[in-house]
Structures are given as C-alpha cells and as structure tokens.
Amino acid sequence: MTDGLTPDQHIAISERWSAHNYHPLPVVLTHGEGAWMTDLNGKRYLDFLAGYSALNFGHRHPEIVATAKAQLDRLTLTGRAFHHDQFGPFCRELAELTGTEMVLPANSGAEAVESAVKIARKWAYQIKGVPDGAAEILVAGENFHGRTTTIVSFSTDPEARNGFGPFTPGFKVVPYGDADALRAAVTENTAAVLLEPIQGEAGVVVPAKGYLADVRQICDDTNTLFVADEIQSGLARTGTTLALDHEGVHADLYTLGKALGGGIVPVSAVVGRADVIGVLRPGEHGSTFGGNPLACAVGRTVTRLLATGEYQERSRELGAYVHSRLSELEGIAEVHGRGLWASARIADGGPSGREVSEALIGHGVLCKDYHSNLRIAPPLVITREEIDLGMDALAAVLG
C-alpha cells in the first residue's frame, strides 16, 4: 500500500509530520528480499547497511518470515503475568548458543543496556558489598550504547549529549583500548566495566590484540563485572557468534539485540551468569513486551540459523574479501573492522561521506555515512558477486 503518492510527496509528508531526529537519504523503499531493496519506482538497490546489523540474515529471510507468520496465527502477546510455550525454549536456546547461563529478554538494544546497568548495580550492592548508592560503572570514550538519558549521560559525543542534561551520575569514562587507564580507574565501588568489543559508531574500531583479555583480567582481579555490548558486533556480524570469541574472552554479561529479531520484530536480551542476573527478584524489573511469544518464536529461529555456523563462516570469508576490495580503492584512506563490518575513511580532499552515499543511490547501492567514514555492513546473505557490484559502484563514485 503506497497511497498513490510520489517519492517526493512521501518525503515531504515525513518532513512535515515526523520528528527531525534523522536525516534519511532521499529514497522511498517499498520491498526487500535478501540483500536487495526496491523503491517506489521499482528501482532495485543493493543493501550495504543491513539496518545497522539488524538485518544480518537479509530482508525477509524465508525461515524467519515463516516463523513469524505461523506465530501470528497462534499467540502474539501475553505479558509476563503468564507462561507461554515459546519463552522457556527461547531462553534456553539463546543461552546455549552464547555459552551463558541465564537470559533476560527485552525489546530494544538500549533497553538491554539499561537492564544490564541495573543488574550490575544490584549485584554490586547485594553481592560485592558496595555501599548503597555508591556503585560506579566504567565505560569507554567514544562509546555508543543507545540514546536513553542514562546512556547519553556517559557518552562523549556532544551531539548525543547537548541539551539533554541533567545527566545520570555513577559512570566514569576511560580511554578505549588503554588497559592501564582502566586498571587505575577501578575502585572498591566499581560494579562493572561496560565496553563494546568493537566500537561501532566510533568507526568500527577493533582494539589491539590482548586488550579485551586485559579487561577480563582486571575485572577478575578486582571482583568487577565485565559487561560486553554485542548489540551490533554480536550474532555473526564479525565472523564469530560473539565478537569476544575472537579473543577467547568471556564476559559476565552480554547485551544483545538488532539481529536477534531477524529483521522482523525488535528483540533484545541480557545474557550471562546466573548468579549475576539472578539478583533480580519478582517486581524489581519488567517489560510488557519483553519476551513476548512472537519475539521468542522469531528469536528461536535466529538462534537455530546461527547454530549451524554458516553465517559466521560467511562473515569471515566475505568480510576478508570486502576489506581487501576496500583497501584497493582510490580515495579510501583507511579501513577498519572485522568480518562483514567495515568502516572506510574517505581521503582528505575527497567528497564528504554524505555526498558519496547520495551518489551511490544513482548506482543502485544504499550505504550510510557517519562523520568522514562510510559504514559497509551488508547482510550476511550477500554473495561475492553482489559485493563486487557494490565495490565497483563505490569505485565509480570515488573515481
């Protein structure tokens, strides 16, 4: 249903009636399948963004769609006042996939991070013995964990913070990748260290080898929780189920989201140690839609798809190819990332990221800029031939 409006009319209506908290590219999409999307005029575009990793399995993956349709005919919402037949199996299967012990389902990634913050604080008071109200959480500079008022309180991005104070206390920022600074910042009141194993919005920054193992050791030495935000980096995006797997490191808590919903519904979760998540008691935390039957059914199919290892392998192999192609392009100064997740910095004197993204539309490729970088993160179902189409388009725009 398109209401008979032209693309320009759709854009004008959006500008008039919606909040201006985004600056979308000037394309109006109506369909998606696999690694492709189609606009109102029937033009097809290769998707090089994958919904910021929410579409790891592509648009309308047939197994996920079939699961959603079947569940829509059965039961969609109960609230957590009752049990339903998808909830327990979803929690068990997600815990088994991630090598963890307990699951707290939620909806958005930001909700998962907020929930992890609450769990870490309660654990600090109840188990570690931190005085009530004194718990502190260490975070990294240039982090991105969401947009709630508490989360932007510990952001270092002025755009995320300006105009939204007063800010929530209880957080201390340390430089990302600096284990010595992290160790020096830990006190007897430190409840947790909250980090992205790979910093997404900062430019898909992969820390030096050994840093994440150092974080784990610091947390072990000081009886501090290690909370890994894997909302973007997790669920096969980097070539392993979790990005921490590359370093052989395990967190006490992980926040998951985006791809967990299969591109169909918002699904997120906190997963981790049972003795940590288990500090929550009835009435202390909740979510009406968290763990609903539709979300759990979809999440179960996602975990089954990931359990085969196929998508992790695709990300490793095709990611290496994407990085090699990007590194060969004239006009690209730097490439960062891991697996099918890359940030390409445009060389000084070249077009802006926005200009490149807009020019790519004409070549049938949808990509997104941030700062002076391009984010390259296609669905994991993409083929090598489709990658070549996108890279050839990017070469033409930069050339």
pLDDT at 2 (0 to 100): 61
| 8 Å CB contact between 269 and 106 | yes
Catalytic residue among 122, 214, 252, 258: 258
What is the CATH architecture of 7-61+310-398?
A: Alpha-Beta Complex (3.90)
In the chain, CATH 3.40.640.10 sits at 75-307
Catalytic residue among 48, 87, 90, 144: 144
| 144 noted as active-site residue | yes
Residues 131-173 have pLDDT tens digits of: 999 999 999 999 999 999 999 999 999 999 999 999 999 999 9
Residues 204-224 have pLDDT tens digits of: 999 999 999 999 999 999 999
pLDDT at 1 (0 to 100): 61
Residues 6+ apart with CB under 8 A from 72: 294
Residue 251 has pLDDT above 90, yes or no: yes
In the chain, CATH 3.90.1150.10 sits at 7-61+310-398
Residue 244 has pLDDT above 70, yes or no: yes
Query: Closest by alpha carbon to 286, among 104, 78, 122?
Result: 104
Banded pLDDT at 34 (limits 50, 70, 90): very high
CATH number for domain 75-307, candidates 3.30.930.10, 3.40.50.1370, 3.40.50.360, 3.40.640.10: 3.40.640.10
pLDDT at 372 (0 to 100): 77
Mean pLDDT of 100-128: 98
Residues 264-293 have pLDDT tens digits of: 999 999 999 999 999 999 999 999 999 999
Residues 49-68 have pLDDT tens digits of: 999 999 999 999 999 999 99
pLDDT at 27 (0 to 100): 98
pLDDT at 257 (0 to 100): 98
Backbone φ, ψ for residue 32 (5° rounding): -150, 145
Residue that has been written with the tokens 């006190």 in this structure: 187
pLDDT at 371 (0 to 100): 77
Q: Can you give the length of the chain in residues?
A: 399
| 229 noted as active-site residue | yes
Q: What rounded mean pLDDT belongs to the chain? A: 97
Residue 181 has pLDDT above 70, yes or no: yes
| 8 Å CB contact between 234 and 245 | no
The rounded percent of the chain whose pLDDT value lies above 70 is 99
Distance separating alpha carbons of residues 357 and 342, to the nearest angstrom: 15
State in Å, rounded, how far the first CA of the chain is from the last one. Answer: 39
Residue type, 13: I
Residues 6+ apart with CB under 8 A from 249: 212, 213, 215, 216
Query: Closest by alpha carbon to 189, among 121, 134, 253?
Result: 134
Residue 399 has pLDDT above 90, yes or no: no
**HSE-CB of 365 using CA atoms within 13 angstroms:** 27
Question: pLDDT higher for 372 or 100?
Answer: 100
Distance separating alpha carbons of residues 261 and 56, to the nearest angstrom: 10
Mean pLDDT of 20-48: 97
Distance separating alpha carbons of residues 275 and 189, to the nearest angstrom: 19
Mean pLDDT of 246-268: 98
Distance separating alpha carbons of residues 12 and 31, to the nearest angstrom: 20
Distance separating alpha carbons of residues 251 and 57, to the nearest angstrom: 25
Residue 26 has pLDDT above 90, yes or no: yes
Catalytic residue among 229, 245, 252, 369: 229
| 258 noted as active-site residue | yes
Helix (H) / strand (E) element for 353: namely helix 353-362
pTM of the complete model beyond 0.85: yes
Residue type, 313: E
